[in-house]
Amino acid sequence: MPFDVDVLTLGEAMVLFAAEDAGPLAGAARFRRFCAGAELNVAIGLARLGLRVGYLSRVGDDAFGTFLLDTMRHEGVHTGLVAVDDTRPTGFMLKSRATDGRDPEIEYHRRHSAASAMAGGDLASLRPVRARHLHVTGITPALSPGCRELVFETVRWARARGMSVSFDPNLRPRLWPSAEEMCRTVNTLAGLSDLVLPGIAEGRRLTGLDDAATIARHYLDLGAADVVVKLGADGAWCAGRDGLSTRVPGVPVPKVVDTVGAGDGFAVGVISARLEGLDLVAAAMRGNRIGARVVQHPGDSDGLPTREQLDAWGPTP
């Protein structure tokens, strides 16, 4: 039966065990459990802001998969597109606690996971879906050739139906056979997207260019309509095919607890604002606000605000 959503996304949902005590991951004795996965973080963030979100994925027929499905339902993410695989496990990850603002140590356990077995045939499950927007990242196409095929086919399917498409490179070099294949695939996906959201370090690695303005111009020339280059504490650089080119200042953070998930929070802010009709600068401002909130929490998604919390901040300056 057909169903409508505002945003569709796809990827690998994972269970995250975050160390409670600071120090090397190998020495951690106590962990807190969260859900993780870049696209799922974005799905949860958008659902908390009141958008209808569909999420295409696979989980194992195990306790981790049950936990993830229960979390999605609790957060209001549509689970009808999540298949349960009784032959492959759900992936999980371990994360250290860093108290000095640096990126934590992360260890993934996702080889041969249920989500990595997704392929182009999974596109058939999207036939009843009507959506306004598709969000994808560079993580899913790195998981397997089948996942890569699915992401490309889904992007083309979305564009053929008039949906807007956002793309976050979200580079994971260790998942790719080579740096050349990573850059080629990610840049091709960026050129198929309306909105591209690279971090400044990612942009430098993908393009060989140095500053945010020229990186943004590179992706506009590839075919993107809008580009927002994330600059961390320095904010973001916005550029559009309409001639826009400006920096949006960052949001001060009193104490960084965990940097992981900040980019996903930024994507939540930008995508939600654009779907509400705000311009790109206002969208980047919202992205900065949400990203700043996320880094003050230990989990990947527990810092994502509800609509009530977002509205309590007042209008975007």
Give the separation between CA 197 and CA 203, rounded to whole angstroms: 9
Q: Which residue is catalytic, options 6, 168, 258, 264?
A: 264
Give the separation between CA 135 and CA 127, rounded to whole angstroms: 17
Identity (one letter) of the amino acid at 145?
A: P
Instruction: Return the bridge partners of 59, or none.
Output: 84
Q: Is 302 a catalytic residue?
A: no
Give the separation between CA 279 and CA 295, rounded to whole angstroms: 25
Identity (one letter) of the amino acid at 310?
A: L
Hey, is 206 helix, strand or coil?
helix
Give the separation between CA 255 and CA 264, rounded to whole angstroms: 19
Instruction: Tokens 């810092």: give the residue.
Output: 303
Burial class (CB in 10 A: 0-12, 13-18, 19+), 217: middle
Tell me the CA distances in angstroms from 251 to 17, 77, 207, 273, 315, one per residue in order.
28, 28, 27, 17, 15
**Catalytic residue IDs:** 264
